[in-house]
Structure 1
Amino acid sequence: MTTEQLPEHVRANREYWDGMADQWVAAGERSWALNEVTWGVFSVPQAEVPLLPDDVNGLDTIELGCGTGYVSSWLARRGARPVGIDNSSEQLRTARRLQQEHGLDFPLLHGNAEAVPYPDQSFDLAVSEYGAAIWCDPYRWIPEAARLLRPGGRLAFLGNSVVSMLCAPEDESEKPTERMLRPQRDMHRFTWDDGGVEFHLGHGDMIRLLRANGFEVEDLIEIFAPEGAPDSSFHYAPADWSRQWPVEEVWKARKVS
């Protein structure tokens, strides 16, 4: 598929991420160097937020919106056979360099996570941390994840919490408020002034979408800032706010049909 044939939001996000990829190089380098798996803006340990299965050895995995590929690197070190796909060629440039530096080799695809060039039932686990989870249309990428997973396969993804999106100002440089600024009803697409296009659903809509695509919801983990944590480097996650309300959430589901 040529760039011109991609959906409008995919084209917009490709330009957005190619333009800001250099801002994520250092973070990617730090994450590749970690032996411990951590999640979200406050680097909460996997033991406290078990997004991944306890044992991934021998699993075929797909990271949907892999960015610099650090989640796939964690999976590879633990015996999985990962594949990463990302919309940004510049993000993947960093991922390939880090593969060489760390002596890991797994497929990295430049493409749209809403349409992955792999056959049906190719994977045991599909995972996304701030990748497809917020940058792809859930009404497209959730069905695609279902297509890619084998029966019994797991889907796990992390993104902004519903409450954080309802309290987020239109000016992305401002901190979240202690009151809701937008309606939850019909929440779906968020287009920001910097050109990025995000997608967020309320919990009821997400549960119905997962169930409609053959998933059984196994867990919803809401992530708060740990006690004593300093402010994160992200404007939308000041520590004082994030200790009172969940700043992020993890969804875990199993494909049953």
Structure 2
Amino acid sequence: MTRDHLLINRGVWDADAPNWVSVGKRLWSLETPVWGNWGIPDDGLNLLPADMTDMDAIELGCGTGYVSGWMTRRGARVTAVDISTEQLATARHFAAEQGADIAFIEGNAEATGLPDASFDFAISEYGASIWCPPDKWLREAWRLLRPGGRLVFLGNHPLSLICSPLDGSPADRTLHRPYRGMWGADWTEVEYEPTGVCFNLTLSSWMDLFADIGFTVRKYQELYAPEWVSGTRAAIPADWAKDYPVEQVWHLGKQK
């Protein structure tokens, strides 16, 4: 991958920001988190600690900032980073509306410039977790965490990528690209709904990278679409996502 993914993805999200305002407003209003493109209820997923009192937390790629909002309600001191000026404008609006004290930073989640060992908890839901090269943003997350700190991130399951046609049309039940050597996909010039440059790895490559950086795997979850949903979201049909894992969640720890 040689294209400037930062420039491309910033442009995509600045242009698309108006389309996420109503979604952001709805998610900011929720008392109980829901996750991913299908709004999967948190029941038992536990992506966030139940009590975050006195914790320093950071969201890497915050978008409209609702996850940061949920963390402030649980007592955390929250910093939220995003590369998109327009997405951050929406996030700041909702934070002010909700009275949430969040430090928003416009910047690159691969190199935040924040001090070492500043946070107890880090999270990325469809932020840095898919729009930044894993080797870069995960090393930055490790650097930012204190010993004993935790990182949780949610993104596309590798299976959803290899079942996605090369023209960008919705995923089906055919393998369209190799699993071996997977790095992600460039969606900028596809025929259907072009977006940006996303990143992913095979499961063994994720595990190798975690070990190389120094993360331990606390838990791994594969997520499916709820039975009651229908239609297509982010080029994934509901019927596909009910039979195959559409998203994955990694729970990682930085050793003391």
Range of TM-score over shorter length: over 0.9
TM alignment of 1:1-257, pairs within 5 A: 8-172=4-168, 174-192=169-187, 193=189, 194-227=194-227, 229-231=228-230, 234-256=233-255
Q: Secondary structure at the match of 1:15?
A: helix
Q: Secondary structure at the match of 2:236?
A: coil
How far off is 1:189 after superposition? Answer: 3.5
Name the CA shift for 1:189/1:247 in 2 (closer, same or farther; >3 Å).
Answer: closer
Q: Distance in 2 between matches of 1:121 and 1:63?
A: 15
Q: Is the 8 A contact 2:54 2:76 kept in 1?
A: yes
Name the CA shift for 1:237/1:189 in 2 (closer, same or farther; >3 Å).
Answer: closer
Q: Secondary structure at the match of 1:252?
A: strand
Q: Is the 8 A contact 1:220 1:249 kept in 2?
A: yes
Q: Distance in 2 between matches of 1:52 and 1:236?
A: 27
- CA displacement 1:8-46 (0-9 Å, x = unmatched): 211111111111111111111111111111111222222
Q: Secondary structure at the match of 1:219?
A: strand
Q: Distance in 2 between matches of 1:86 and 1:26?
A: 19
Q: Distance in 2 between matches of 1:126 and 1:218?
A: 14
Q: Secondary structure at the match of 2:91?
A: helix
Q: Secondary structure at the match of 1:107?
A: strand
For 2:212, give the aligned amino acid: A
Unaligned runs of at least 5 residues, structure 2: none
How far off is 1:232 after superposition? Answer: 5.1
How far off is 1:53 after superposition? Answer: 2.2
Q: Distance in 2 between matches of 1:14 and 1:170?
A: 23
Q: Is the 8 A contact 1:231 1:237 kept in 2?
A: no
For 1:46, give the aligned amino acid: D
Name the CA shift for 1:91/1:235 in 2 (closer, same or farther; >3 Å).
Answer: closer
Q: Secondary structure at the match of 2:248?
A: strand
Q: Is the 8 A contact 2:56 2:119 kept in 1?
A: yes
How far off is 1:222 after superposition? Answer: 0.3
Q: Is the 8 A contact 2:50 2:74 kept in 1?
A: no
The runs of at least 4 consecutive aligned structure 1 residues that moved more than 6 Å come to none
Q: Distance in 2 between matches of 1:195 and 1:246?
A: 22
Unaligned runs of at least 5 residues, structure 1: 1-6
Identity over aligned residues, as a percent? Answer: 46
